[in-house]
Amino acid sequence: MTRPEPQASGTARRLAALGYTPLVAPLLQVVPVTADGTEAGEGPGSANGIGTLALTSRTAALILAAHPAFHSLPVAAVGSATAAEARRAGFTRVDDAAGTVDVLLDRLAGAPEPIVHMAGREHTGDLVERLVARGQRASRRIVYAMAPQRLPAAPRVDAVLIYSPRTAHVFSGEVTRAADSGDAAQGAGTSPWDSAAVVAMSDKVAAAMPGRLVCVASAPTEPAMLEALAAILPSPASAFAPAARGAGPQPSDPAG
């Protein structure tokens, strides 16, 4: 499990219930930042004057959970996972864009302005730029960063779940480092991480690991990730049918 906490532990519990033995090894750690981009604990700035919040990650919703001044604002969330996290965080007016930025843009047409996109420092996409281009007042606040972490030593790794392109880049670098250092005392040039099967949430995630054989989930959701895992590494307790797929564009709802 390479996704950040607290999502990693939640997925680990689901994997254990399916009969797997999960290893929680987050490759990115969430670091809150202020609205001016400096790492500190002062929060995402003021809620005053904001018309609508746009959220494209669960982590942004988690960060805002500790700032109730924002919770009365309407929220446009990119997909169901982000929308659910926003509701758990305390937001009461949440619109779910069903997993695509294009739908999110449609939902934001006519939304109260200014629209503020709460995002991570390493965010992808051009939501704010597209809003401004069509004449809406919009801006972006960076409310968290993702700090790379090391892979732990492990005697055996059968499969790795990768949820984002950034995690994929960190994983590739860590696999090289582990092999060079002889991870888990297996000798230089070998590592259980290098031989493990990999399940990616999307084609974009898979593309960040060139040269590696990757099983891509049928949709950018956790159930689809677990289905794809069951397709390549069956578990006696798994009730999933195989759902791995080949290439093809898929909507994105980042889960960490």
- Mind listing the pLDDT tens digit for each residue in 44-63? 889 999 999 999 998 999 99
Which segments within the chain are labelled E, that is strand?
A: 28-32, 52-55, 75-77, 94-96, 115-120, 138-148, 159-162, 197-200, 214-217, 244-245
In angstroms, the CA 56 to CA 77 distance is 6
Task: Yes or no: say if 232 and 244 are a contact pair by the CB < 8 Å rule.
Answer: yes
Are 156 and 73 within 8 A, CB to CB? no
Q: Which of 178, 122, 126 is nearest to 146 (CA)?
A: 122
Selection from 18, 22, 20 nearest residue 9 by Cα: 22
Q: What is the mean pLDDT of the chain?
A: 85
What does pTM read for this prediction?
0.72
Q: Which of 92, 93, 94, 40 is nearest to 63 (CA)?
A: 40
pLDDT in tens, the chain (256 residues): 999 888 899 999 999 999 999 999 999 998 888 655 555 544 688 999 999 999 999 899 999 999 999 999 999 999 888 999 999 999 999 999 987 889 999 999 999 999 999 998 888 789 999 999 999 999 999 999 989 999 988 888 999 999 989 999 999 999 988 777 655 444 445 678 988 999 999 999 999 999 898 999 998 888 999 999 999 998 766 544 444 444 333 334 444 4
Burial of 13 (0-12, 13-18, 19+ CB in 10 A): exposed
